[in-house]
Amino acid sequence: MEERILLPHLFRTEYRNIVGVLCYLFGIEHIAVAEDIVSDTFLAATEVWGMQGVPENPTGWLYTVAKNKTRNYLKRHSLFEKKISADLSYTAPKAEELDIDLSHKNIADSQLAMIFTVCNPCISNESQIALALNLLCGFGIQEIADAFLTNKEVIYKRLNRAKEKLKEARIKIEQPTVSEITSRLETVLTTLYLLFSEGYYSVSQNTTLRKDLCAEAMRLTHLLVENETTNKPAASALLSLMCFHSSRFDARTNENGETILYEDQDEALWNKELIDRGAYFLNKASTGNQVSKFHLEAGIAYWHTRKENTDEKWENILQLYNNLLILEYSPIAALNRTFAVAKTRGKKEAIQEAEKLKLTTNHFYYSLLGHLYTDIDDKMALQHFETALKLASSNADKATMSKNINRLIAKTTSIFTYNTGMCA
């Protein structure tokens, strides 16, 4: 792979690894130092590789240069070196003797420690996701801005505020204890779930970015499942949910970015390998005696990977939604439940259930009502689709609503023409 393609790829995969190890070594208050060292390492790679060509082991080259730059920094900043040695209770006072461990195991340990550091309740969910993208996934500020559909200045300030809050709270970057895993794993899993959702439900038209967000959320969740201390049923359930959702990623939108409804999706585009992985992790999640929201959502997602419209399928989905709403009520989950109600109890009962929700600022609410009213009261269905169009924010959603409106108008017109002809 030539330098032009290789360096951006390595920046994404190795930047996060080296930053994680250095942060793990230096502490949260020295994130900026770690980032500067790694940025200098990649700048050196750009210059040297541009003149001398790509080395035989590019990753090894980066690791060696990062280690050397770290030692040089410590030599130039003796006070910093003494503080690091004191903080680590490190016996060797010389920078050149400091062990900068970039082994696969230490990288995984560093990333795990960073996950629990970044997913700290002292900072907002948005900040947790932004920090995770930056420090754990190697996303640049522009990429994060694109993911949040905002500008670089907003993200830059959000990241800096989050880092300052973590410093002020004196949060340590360390392996989570059993009690910390018990008390904070749900927060960590929720952050990773939101990170995945930023990609899967993103209004961004950048398909590559959206897939990258989902892939990174899955990678970090897999880290939890691979580690003995964090390998809990809820983590496997979340990974299962992500696999099931990702399996239908390519079938959810057309070439214009318009949403394809579940029943209209091409099953041939579903990723069978991811469906099998989802089933594997869902089975792993079945141990223990606690059921999390991720178990229930993974169960719903599992049934959606079975295309056949059987009574058993939709009844199971409805009961899973009922249990999910009892465990943790969510208006969106309640809205999605009405689709299962339509399948099991009929459209009229589903309309009654949906209208109770009164989600009058949500375009999905009106879109669902439009679909439910179609063939029952097409005039009402058209009104709901038009309201959904007004509320939709993304071009893709607007295009989908416009298509629904045009289809309904064409249907109404053809019926009117047919009836007029019969009268004539």
- The string of pLDDT tens digits covering residues 376-409 is 999 999 999 999 999 998 787 888 899 999 989 8
pLDDT, tens digit, 9 for 90 and up, residues 355-375: 999 999 999 999 999 999 999
| pLDDT value of residue 138 | 87
By the 8 A CB rule, do 217 and 189 touch? Answer: no
> Is the pLDDT score of 100 beyond 90?
no
What are the residue ranges spanned by the domains of the chain? Answer: 1-102, 104-229, 359-424
pLDDT value of position 112: 94
Position 233 pLDDT exceeds 60: yes
Q: Across all residues in the chain, what is the average pLDDT?
A: 88
Could you tell me the end-to-end alpha-carbon distance of the chain, in angstroms, rounded to an integer?
72
Q: Check residue 270 and give its pLDDT.
A: 96
| Per-residue confidence band for 97, with pLDDT thresholds at 50, 70 and 90 | low
Rounded to 5°, angle at Cα 150 from 112 and 118: 15
pLDDT, greater one: 403 or 244? 244
Which pLDDT score is estimated for 86? 59
- Helix 141-148 with 207-226: angle, nearest 10 deg: 100
**Residue 422 pLDDT:** 44
10 Å CB burial of residue 103 (0-12, 13-18, 19+) is exposed
Alpha helical stretches, state H, 270-377: 272-284, 293-304, 311-327, 331-345, 347-357, 363-373
- Reduced to 3 states, what is the DSSP secondary structure of residue 201? coil
Q: How far is CA 307 from CA 33, 246, 272, in A?
A: 52, 16, 12
Q: Which pLDDT value is given to residue 23?
A: 93
Q: Find the length of the chain.
A: 424
Q: Give the residue, 332 or 75, on which the prediction is more confident.
A: 332
How many angstroms separate the Cα of 323 from the Cα of each of 239, 281, 328, 352?
A: 20, 21, 9, 20
Percent of the chain whose predicted confidence (pLDDT) is above 90: 65
Residue 93 is predicted with a pLDDT of 43
Alpha helical stretches, state H, 77-230: 78-88, 104-118, 125-131, 141-148, 152-168, 178-200, 207-226
Average pLDDT over residues 94-110: 80
Q: How many CB atoms lie within 10 A of CB 415?
A: 11
d(CA 250, CA 159): 32
User: pTM of the entire structure?
Assistant: 0.87
pLDDT band at 149 (very low <50, low <70, confident <90, very high): confident
Share of the chain above pLDDT 70, in %: 90
Q: What is the pLDDT of residue 399?
A: 86
Please, which residues have CB within 8 angstroms of residue 17's CB and are 6 or more apart in sequence? 102, 107, 110, 111
pLDDT at 339: 95
**What CA–CA distance (Å, rounded) separates 49 from 403?**
51
**Which two three-digit tokens encode residue 334?**
């309640």
- The per-residue pLDDT for range 268-300, each reduced to its tens digit, is 999 999 999 999 999 999 998 889 999 999 999
What is the mean predicted confidence (pLDDT) over 125-129? 91
What's CA 67's distance to the chain center, in Å? 31
pLDDT at 260: 85
Reported confidence tier of residue 415, pLDDT bands at 50, 70, 90: low
Q: What is the pLDDT of residues 164-220, one digit of tens each?
A: 999 999 888 999 999 989 989 999 999 999 999 988 887 666 777 788 899 999 999
Given a cut of 50, is residue 416 above it in pLDDT? no
Task: Pull the structure tokens for residue 355.
Answer: 């209208």
In the predicted model, what is the mean pLDDT of residues 152-157? Answer: 94
Instruction: Please compute the mean of the pLDDT values over residues 242-255 and round it to a whole number.
Output: 92
Q: What are the tokens at 192? A: 């990773």
pLDDT at residue 79, as a whole number = 57
